Amino acid sequence: MTDPFLLKMKPLIPLLLLIAGLVSSCANTSNLAPNTSTPIGLKESVVILGVTPAYQIAFESGTITNDGYWSINSYGTITTNVFPEKGYIVVKIRSRTGNDNYGIAQIRPKGHHSRRYTPCSGNKVLAFEAPAGRVTYIGDVSYDYVIENPESRKASGKVSYTYSSAPENAKRFLVEHYPELASRMEVQETKELIVAKSNCDFEHYLFAGGIIMRLPGDQRNTNDPLRTYRGH
């Protein structure tokens, strides 16, 4: 039997494919090359994040709501999908400041095509700004990955995080691997915000042009600890 949702979406698929093709160039899948010149455009920003263990991390664009919650952008695309190298992610992304920012909103402990872990409504997310033309260190994130029911064919798990800031270590890393960026590095403390709408609320996905586009579903909440993400 044909999924009723797919029947309703069928007329929109050509348009969605076109949109996906237009925005696919916005998704970064690798760090900046070390020891090379890194020009930063007027609408671009370089962000440095320490990550342990070496899990694949995605930044996603979002908005701080009027009541102080964080909401992932509907019909958005993943901005980055990157593994840390030598303990850090160093990426160039489109600038976003103020209430329009980014969240560290997807973790894949086992990398590409593996189960993803994201905050649901009611969890916390680390949100940060990407100021235009600047190089910003946003802190260090450490993850703890616990598998539940490992003997089950549908074994899943949880990923929890802790946040810290060690700008001296980040600066030493840049001096060694990105000397051109080291002298420009600024420090930003992320904002830990409660999620109002998240990846968990997007139950249907369209894969096209090398990116993932989300289609809204029903809002889902979680009773897990605030800094714990479930896989799906």
For residue 115, which of 145, 142, 76, 77 has the smallest C-alpha distance?
145
Span 86-128, pLDDT tens digits: 999 999 999 999 999 999 989 999 887 788 888 888 899 999 9
Residue 18 has pLDDT above 60, yes or no: no
The string of pLDDT tens digits covering residues 31-78 is 999 999 999 999 999 999 999 999 999 999 999 999 999 998 866 566
